[in-house]
Amino acid sequence: MESKIIAIAGGSASGKSTIVDYIKNYFADDLFVMGHDNYYKAHNDIPFEKREKLNYDEPNAFDNEMFIRDLKRLKSGKEIDMPIYDYNIHTRSDKTVHVSPKKIILIEGILVLYDKMIRDITDTMVFVDADSDVRLQRRILRDTKERSRSLDSVLTQYIKQVKPMHEKYVEPTKKYADIIIPRGAKNTRGIEILIKHIEDLLKE
Ligand SMILES: Nc1ncnc2c1ncn2[C@@H]1O[C@H](COP(=O)(O)OP(=O)(O)O)[C@@H](O)[C@H]1O
Ligand SMILES: O=c1ccn([C@@H]2O[C@H](COP(=O)(O)O)[C@@H](O)[C@H]2O)c(=O)[nH]1
């Protein structure tokens, strides 16, 4: 079995995970979600105070060598041990998850369309689009509730790193997308079209 790979990119808090969760529940056993964020470079050698100031929005923040190696293994029907990232401590957790190949692999992350080597092994590329003010509002709520951040740190990181890196690296990858989903997870019709496309891929 050679798996099909679908990439879901888009700005931070655009609704990627919300859409992916919906699709995951729909396809259950035929689909695996491989978060690109799990492949952020591990920084266990750097103290927390320094880790929290690193730039996590530039392409170099990811270990794409490991990501592509694991993705190719899964695509060709082999198993992997996927790392698990912990945003609260800004590094990988000490856990991994053992993953068996599935017919569909959904890869998801802000910069998952950036690297040509990832695009070359991807079957369908999707970009989730959402207004930047809406994304900032959602990021404030999410990161203060779920990622142990203060309001001050979310705003500082947004102005110094998230917004400029989004404009420089994330937004330009929209041109590679086969499907653009405007208004993020609110766009139920767009999500239905993506689900229909995945159903067609499963029949091939
Ligand atoms: N359409 C929506 N309406 C309201 N809140 C939303 C909507 N889509 C996403 N959210 C919330 O916004 C936050 C960011 O969404 P998420 O799916 O995690 O984005 P991403 O994975 O792109 O960073 C989450 O807390 C999520 O529950
Ligand atoms: O240690 C970290 C790693 C990442 N981030 C931020 O996460 C977002 C990407 O996740 P989304 O779910 O797509 O929002 C990225 O913008 C990084 O800034 C972090 O803060 N700390």
Distance between Cα 129 and ligand 2 center (Å): 17
Does the pTM surpass 0.80? The reply is: yes
- 131-155 confidence digits (pLDDT tens): 999 999 999 999 999 999 999 999 9
Reduce the secondary structure of the chain to three states and give it as a string.
CCCEEEEEEECCCCCHHHHHHHHHHHHHHHEEEEEHHHHECCCCCCCHHHHCCCCCCCHHHECHHHHHHHHHHHHCCCCEEEEEEECCCCEEEEEEEEECCCCEEEEECCCCCCCHHHHHCCCEEEEECCCHHHHHHHHHHHHHHHCCCCHHHHHHHHHHHHHHHHHHHHHHHHHHCCEEECCHHHCHHHHHHHHHHHHHHHHC
**Structure confidence at residue 182 (pLDDT):** 96
Atom in ligand 1 nearest the alpha carbon of residue 145? 25
Query: What is the percent of the chain where pLDDT is above 90?
Result: 96
Task: Report, as an integer, the average pLDDT of 125-136.
Answer: 97
| pLDDT of 1 strictly over 80 | no
| pLDDT of 59 strictly over 90 | yes
| pLDDT of 111 strictly over 80 | yes
**Structure confidence at residue 132 (pLDDT):** 97
| pLDDT of 96 strictly over 80 | yes
pLDDT bracket for residue 204 (50, 70, 90): confident
Distance between Cα 103 and ligand 1 center (Å): 26
Atom 5 of ligand 2, residue of closest alpha carbon: 56
Would you state the CATH architecture of domain 4-203? 3-Layer(aba) Sandwich (3.40)
**Structure confidence at residue 106 (pLDDT):** 98
57 lines ligand 2 (CB under 6 A): yes
Query: What is the percent of the chain where pLDDT is above 70?
Result: 100
